[in-house]
Structure 1
């Protein structure tokens, strides 16, 4: 008896599976279709199982099997990492079968799929914001669920990602010396995320930006900007008296004080020149009147 090589055996099995899949996809026997779909599902051939369950839908509309197939299709798309599609299907399940015992779980899975589809902080965060909305919707809809704590944890995770994104954007503005825009952006991060754990880093970056803006400002705007930066320095020291950035903050404040001295000297020179100019005008006017008389 000849032995079939292992590679050949694998090929034959593949051909057999393909034939069975094609047979099911051409069949009108819902029992055969669902049976083959379950076989593929058990073998973790998710895409084939999904195709079969989707094909079976037209044969089971309005039957007791419809909710089961709908839920399985959504879950298989989740396992196959088709997260946005799975989320959509879980939401449709909840809307179509609100009284089903799995409605709570499906609503949670919809939110969870949005969560796992959230990208790294340095990418577009549209999906992250969608995930936050879906998780909040689940919490509002199922306030007594045992999954509330996990939803809150995921929301915290997503919020930290948005904080990081906003902070990094502000840092980029600082690095390219767009100090005015950077200061506004740092302020917005603190306003949008009042509980952020990045507050210390945000405030030192804001102080750096305000110092650069003040020191390099035109004269008529410099005093106000110096005062604003010094106020930021005092606030930083008050909030973080033991900060690792404290020495740097003090150096920045010294630059501000030196800039204040320079500003004041220039202001004195301007006022002195103005007084001298006014004196000259008065002298010229007096001389003119004397000549007339």
Structure 2
């Protein structure tokens, strides 16, 4: 019995390395897996593509192929509409590889991923504020980059969006007689989002609030600011 067990043990020792070598030999290379994943992505098989990109990161961590795979995984998540996952991957990429040759594009795609998640003006605007912060950061780091002109338009859109939200909240307070709270919202637009299409109306509403509080001097100062604006005539429609 002892000899039989010893014989089986020896067979197992001989057989195990052989089995391991077969598995190792059969493993696909980074390049093969990367091509497989990109082909899947081109065919819009996004879920399978992401799984293969993840496999590259798991099998070959911190290799050049793994770094490429992480970026491609973010791109595929963005293309498939999973913007929150794309943004998270790109946040991590910026943190891990700030000097990567593709970093300008990574910043750009990250902004688009956050931008796509901005809610309507009737809801809180945390995502809009974050997007604007990222846009301003991008313009500071890459002022003349190939994506700058596209992102300038996005910035104008986000500023308008935030200003519209602030205006809607201010008008809510104004209607209910909470004049101080209303003024804070209107002046937020005036001070931080003055390039928006809602600044003139914010100034007009501020005048209403100041007059309701009996603060004539401040109302007059707001009126002078409106006269300096190219769209000053808009104020007439808000009365």
Distance between the aligned counterparts of 1:248 and 1:152, measured in 2? Answer: 29
Match of 1:122 in 2: 122
1:235 corresponds to which of 217, 224, 234: 224
Distance between the aligned counterparts of 1:174 and 1:227, measured in 2? Answer: 17
Q: TM-score, normalised by structure 1?
A: 0.60
Q: Is the 8 Å Cα contact of residues 156 and 196 (structure 2) preserved in structure 1?
A: no
Match of 1:37 in 2: 37
Deviations along 1:241-268, whole A, 9 cap, x unmatched?
973654986xxxxxxxxxxxxxxxxxxx
Deviation at 1:110, TM superposition (A): 1.6
Distance between the aligned counterparts of 1:109 and 1:234, measured in 2? Answer: 42
Structure 1's 128 and 242: CA in aligned 2 closer, same or farther, altered over 3 A?
closer
Residue correspondence of structure 1 range 45-64 to structure 2 within 5 A = 45-64=45-64
Q: Is the 8 Å Cα contact of residues 237 and 246 (structure 1) preserved in structure 2?
A: no
Instruction: Using CA pairs under 8 Å that are at least 6 residues apart, name the structure with larger relative contact order, 1 or 2.
Output: 2
> Larger radius of gyration, structure 1 or 2?
1
Distance between the aligned counterparts of 1:90 and 1:244, measured in 2? Answer: 42
Distance between the aligned counterparts of 1:103 and 1:246, measured in 2? Answer: 48
Distance between the aligned counterparts of 2:198 and 2:27, measured in 1? Answer: 60
State how many pairs are aligned.
211
Q: TM-score, normalised by structure 2?
A: 0.72
Q: Is the 8 Å Cα contact of residues 77 and 83 (structure 1) preserved in structure 2?
A: yes
RMSD: 3.1
Q: Is the 8 Å Cα contact of residues 112 and 135 (structure 1) preserved in structure 2?
A: no
Which sits farther off after the overlay, 185-194 or 52-61?
185-194
Query: Match of 1:74, SS?
Result: helix
Structure 1 unaligned spans of 5+:
1-27, 215-224, 250-293
Structure 2 unaligned spans of 5+:
1-25
